[in-house]
Chain A
């Protein structure tokens, strides 16, 4: 489900089934803008695709946006707490930004795919989508 009025309605009706929050983390930088823009685009694309496949159990939140100078850990911690209190047992952060990616994130490296051919692009993206999906399934089976 996405953060839209329509999906939130659906969420209220099926609350007990939606136990996972998916948060893309998007860096903003004043230098090297293009690289950060690529990361954002990539992260959003991957999370969108994961949401499409796991619509019924995952709520895709609007991205957690931060400046690269910022200390992100505290905010991630806070988001996790708030979302857990709201009833999301599993809170997953997805990022393409290598500098912040530690164990609390699912890291999907943004590859320079701008000039790659379509078939290769699709393959890489599909692999990463599957990687995120596997990570979610692993979380689910662990707790159940």
Chain B
């Protein structure tokens, strides 16, 4: 088919242009809708960044409390929230970072807080007890072991992420 013979009729021309323009308009309307519908799937998990907390050389087998701050974003409002962690090395030399939030009602637990229960975490509110590895002592109020922070070691610095219930971390 040579160039000369290919004639576009008025009807065809209008057809092409209208479908083209219409298609663009339809795409413009539909694509945000599709995006909104898919949004929850595409959203990356609101994982907070890892925060530098301590130097690895400072971590001993005795739990120590480290305080740090995380940025919390609530819609448009960004704030810094204080957090703490009890950090120590277990027998194998692995770092364990426990959340100090009592699983009972959310008080802050202390290491060796109760003199009659040495080497345990103690919750002063309702006398809850946890073993060193965070396991709750039976017959005390806490219903579950202490949460563990996700951690990462980079260049001798300990970074902590989210606190997760044991079994997941």
Contacts of B125 in A (CB 8 A): 17, 54-58
Among residues of A, the one whose C-beta sits closest to the C-beta of B100 is: A53
| Residue B106 is within 8 A (CB to CB) of chain A in the complex | yes
Is B108 part of the contact surface with A, judged by Cβ < 8 Å? yes
Q: B50 within 8 Å of A by Cβ?
A: no
Q: How many residues of chain A have a CB within 8 Å of chain B? A: 14
Contact across chains for A55 and B82 when beta carbons are under 8 A apart: no
Chain B contacts for A137, CB-based, 8 A = 124
Taking CB atoms, residues of chain B closer than 8 Å to A54 are 107-108, 124-125
Residues B82 and A52 in contact, CB atoms below 8 Å apart: yes
**CA A14 to CA B126, docked complex, whole Å:** 12
B162 at the interface (CB under 8 A from A): no
Question: What's the dominant secondary structure at chain B's contact region?
Answer: loop
Q: Tell whether, in the assembled complex, residue A52 and residue B105 are in contact, meaning their CB atoms are under 8 Å apart.
A: no
Number of A-B residue pairs with CB-CB distance less than 8 Å in the complex they form:
37
Q: Name A52-73 residues within 8 Å CB distance of B.
A: 52-58
Query: B109-147: which residues lie under 8 A (CB-CB) from chain A?
Result: 123-126, 141
Establish whether residues A56 and B82, one from each chain, have CB atoms under 8 Å apart when the complex forms: no
Residues of B within 8 A of A57 (CB): 105, 107, 125-126
**Interfacial chain A residues near B126, Cβ < 8 Å:** 17, 56-57
CA distance A18 to B106 in the complex (A): 12
B102 on the A face (CB < 8 A): yes
- With a cutoff of 8 Å between Cβ atoms, the chain B residues found around residue A133 in the complex are 124
State in angstroms the CA–CA spacing of A62 and B123 once bound together: 25
- B105 in contact with A55 (CB, 8 Å): yes
Interface string of B14-55 (1 = CB under 8 A from A): 000000000000000000000000000000000000000000
Q: State the CA gap A137–B102 with chains docked (Å).
A: 17
**Most central of B104, B125, B126 by chain A CB within 10 Å:** B125
- A-B contacts, 21 of them at CB < 8 A, read A10-B105, A17-B104, A18-B105, A53-B107, A53-B108, A54-B108, A54-B124, A55-B105, A55-B106, A55-B108, A56-B104, A56-B105, A56-B107, A56-B123, A56-B125, A57-B105, A57-B107, A57-B125, A57-B126, A137-B124, A140-B124
List 4 tightest A-B contacts by C-beta distance, closest first: A56-B105, A57-B125, A55-B106, A53-B108
